[in-house]
Chain A
Amino acid sequence: MPLDTADYTYRIPGQTGDWEIVVGLEVHAQVRSKSKLFSGASTEFGAAPNSHVSLVDAAMPGMLPVINEECVAQAVRTGLGLNAKINRFSRFDRKNYFYPDLPQGYQISQFEFPIVGEGEIECERDDGSRFTVGIERLHLEQDAGKSIHDLDPNATYVDLNRSGVALMEIVSRPHLRSPGDAAAYVRTLRTIVRYLDTCGGDMEKGQMRADVNVSVCKPGAYEKFRESGDFSHLGTRCEIKNVNSLRFIQQAIEYEAQRQIDLLEDGGKVIQQTRLFDANTGVTRAMRSKEEAHDYRYFPDPDLLPLKLEEAFIETLKAGLPELPAEKRERFVSRLGLSEYDASVLAADKDRADYFEKVIEGRDAKLAANWVNNELFGRLNKEGLSITESPVGPQQLGKLVKLIEEDVISGKIAKEVFEILWDEGGDPEAIVEKKGLKQITDTGAIEKVVDDLIAQNPEQAAQVRDKPKAMGWFVGQVMKATGGKANPQAVNEILQKKLLG
């Protein structure tokens, strides 16, 4: 990966000069599947507490896990989407620790042999520039249940609905160099898993959460690390657990980097530890240090056989993959002739891209992109609505674009129609018909208006002959006389002919 693709400009000034940051993320993405990783219980969100709990999830004596093939397929699809190596051999290990929301007393995870190995994704910043991030691995593991501490001052309640739901832990290389890039990376991941339909990606529902590893270093150190792979060039890292929004990820990194810099500049040392981010105060605080860290006593789960994937299984999944955002963007540019910018904006979100592709069925893509990106997204942003909540559907917008394309209405009239669609709904053609908004393309009719105007305004007509720019006045008058319905191009041509001869 060329180093110049990372965000280099991010520097934190300190008393001892500038500092840089190095960030790596472990993103936990809930696998979209009907049932859990090792049991048949439903994964549905929002059900009554403890209503989706099988005997296996509750760790009843003698219960055994059985792998859910769909979760394996989802992990492989995701791995393919991350351009990563799919490991034909992987294995489940037990990660042992005690907690009431962990009924087995261990989490079944993949420690030594993950199902997906190294990969790489291209991420995009808000300004459209791009950078690549290395993926170290993706592994499957069970989610824990939920401890509820605030129902009763003297008791903790446990909801096991989430216990055993499949998670994909996606581990990045420490390739992120700014809070913004970290957020952009997570956003890109979310786009990819949504495209693949392997994870809902809804961070508010906990479908995606990130553990953020942050360290700071002086300029030049990171390049040495990248050249040698030697982590000793980097600062000591702290891991911020379970951050659940893009904004919080950025805030947590900013705070944590500053904390480390202050510490170092005061002559202190960063201690490797696990920290928690408090979204209310914007502060991270220590959870446990390396010395207090759990000894998870990983060992191969003897209840499960190693996972061996057939090449054909992987090939079938590969063949069934949908088009991914990067491919879509490229197609939008090369096949539809969109600008890089329009293509990026449209491809960055699956719902938007789907909407757009419905709009352009049989229409001019560039014009459609313009309408979707400017008129529709502009209006949606203003109203704070998402694309799926748009009052104007893709078929309606598509028809509107077609009307423009076929010169039935002008762009200006189209905006009026769009307003009507937004407020009242309806069929664009019917609206145009009913309100008499059809463009006048009958040159005879336009000529008559022009002739009348010239006859009534001989002075202005004479002016135009000396100063062709003054023709604009006539255009305005024609439009006024026709209620804006005259085809602008036809008006121009006729005026040219009549006035300049």
Chain B
Amino acid sequence: MTDFSTLSLADAAAGLKKKDFTATELAEFTVREAEAAQGALNCFTLIDGERAMRMARASDERLSSGNGRALEGVPIAMKDLFAVEGVEMTASSNILKGFTPTYESTVSQNLWDAGAVFFAKTSMDEFAMGSSNETAASGAVVNPWRAKGSDERLVPGGSSGGSASALAAGISYGATGTDTGGSIRQPAAFTGLVGAKPTYGRCSRWGVVAFASSLDHPGPLTRTVRDNAILMQHMASPDPKDSTSYTGEVPDFAAAVGKSVKGLKIGIPSEYRVEGMPGEIETLWSQGREWLEAAGCEIVDISLPMTKYALPAYYIIAPAEASSNLARYDGMRYGQRVEGEDLIDTYEKSRAAGFGKEVQRRIMIGTYVLSAGYYDAYYLKALKVRRRILEDFNAAFEKVDAILTPTTPSAAFGIGSKAKASPIEMYLNDIFTVTANIAGIPAMSVPAGLDKSGLPLGLQVITRALDEETMFSVGAALEDSAGFSARPEKWWA
């Protein structure tokens, strides 16, 4: 019998079509594994076995009549900020507790239209604000990976930590995430997965709880690069309901996987060599460079001079937008309300009770940088930096086809290990990933090796706007060379 826990999405879809197994069997397995793992990993905000079985049976009917669609019968986990009609959506926040949308996000609708099966909502940092998934209202999510000889519980990264944790534990065949500053790529790197965000606007934001509108990118987490291309293909679409959606057609991403990278120019940006970066990361990066060279790529040293301003600019723009985006959670129409003495008191009590510390911190930062007298010094300046970063990338892409960097400055760290540190230390996790959000260009993390304690590390590929295909080709080349096949030892169930 097939081991359902090691199947790739492509294999699962193919196996279903060949009738090696049924969608119902796959859904039963997935739900069972999810329920078994939840206690130890805490990666789901909700598991809906009933809906999964209903959708799986419908898929089986289609499959048996030969009408299976691309993802027919394949279980996909949904990060808890994609609205799924009739399923509670909290964005891992107390303020949305009990909120059930009457609408379906465009991305999830696209997946169901391709035949995918819903079975669970995955935990996340509250409102996608965080890099460790420790800020979720339902508590920290645990990484299935542990350091050699240690039982310390590690973070899966964030904010799409629930999706990463579940998938790394062999549950589900793909998961949706959103990436505002690295929230797909960083958890993917921490859990040995492939995580990508497409060009801004490829995946609609309609029905997705907003963190920072101009930086939010829905995207897929998967076990392989091919899976990633397939899943992204079925998440993306032009969407008239999202004014910032890209209106052009979605190319065949999977066709780019396995395409020769010979002759491609790969840029190595000197600015990504940051102080205090562990030697292992440096080594992995050099390794990646050699792999691509061996595959026929030409390596080019490049400069992205504005890189050092990216993180500060990001931590102005994102909180600014968030402070406004989260104003709607006021306890008036839906979600949690704590009655106060008057209107202002009710607002204050509701939002104090509903939002966690990190969310409150970012709302305050955002409110501050937009306020009269500070706008020019902070927000406007950050927008100027944003433009300069984009110009940096445009100049680089005159010379190269893709850029190779590490995904994160470290491997997964212990839960609570940064509790006493300044928030800045947590923010530094995004140092290599935020630039692609600021520029709105495609970027992916590919698992490339293990550090000395046996924890996964990722390499990042960044390409031109709308050139996801090159990203998938280069990502696949790295995946081939790395031959990453490590799995966490199953301790959680």
Contacts and interface: CB of A to CB of B under 8 A. Distances in A.
Nearest to B320: A299
B96 A61 contact: yes
B210 interface: yes
With most chain B CB atoms within 10 A of its CB, the pick from A66, A67, A298, A305 is: A66
Contacts of B270: none
B165 to A, nearest CB: 23
A391 to B, nearest CB: 49
A65 B327 contact: no
A303 interface: yes
A154 to B, nearest CB: 12
B209 A104 contact: no
Contacts of B83: 61-62
Interface stretch (B12-20, B235-243, B354-362): B235-243
Contact of B370 (A59, A66, A96, A302): A96
Interface in A285-307: 295, 297-299, 302-305
Contact of B324 (A58, A67, A106, A304): A106
A280 B349 CA distance: 37
A65 B212 CA distance: 15
Contacts of A65: 243
Nearest to B205: A64
A55 interface: yes
B38 interface: no
B320 A62 contact: no
A302 B213 contact: yes
Contacts of B367: 297
Given A297-B370, A304-B243, A59 B333 contact: yes
Nearest to B371: A295
The size class of the interface chain B forms with chain A is: 35 or more
B321 A58 contact: no
B370 A58 contact: no
A64 B375 contact: no
A395 to B, nearest CB: 47
Nearest to B321: A302
B324 A105 contact: yes
B333 A103 contact: yes
Interface in A29-72: 55, 58-67
A142 B205 CA distance: 22
B379 interface: yes
Contacts of A295: 371-372
B347 interface: yes
B243 A305 contact: yes
Interface residues of A, number: 28
Contact of A100 (B213, B244, B332): B332
Nearest to B215: A302
Given A61-B101, A62-B83, A64-B241, A103 B328 contact: yes
Contacts of A302: 212-214, 244, 321
B278 to A, nearest CB: 35
Interface string A81-112: 00000000000001010101001111000000
Contact of B242 (A58, A64, A67, A100): A64
B96 A303 contact: no
A62 B105 contact: yes
19 contacts: A55-B102, A61-B81, A61-B89, A61-B99, A62-B105, A64-B241, A64-B243, A65-B243, A66-B242, A66-B243, A96-B323, A96-B324, A98-B327, A105-B324, A105-B326, A298-B370, A299-B321, A299-B379, A304-B243
Given A297-B324, A299-B375, A303-B213, 10 more contacts: A61-B89, A61-B210, A67-B243, A98-B327, A100-B332, A103-B333, A105-B324, A297-B323, A298-B370, A299-B320
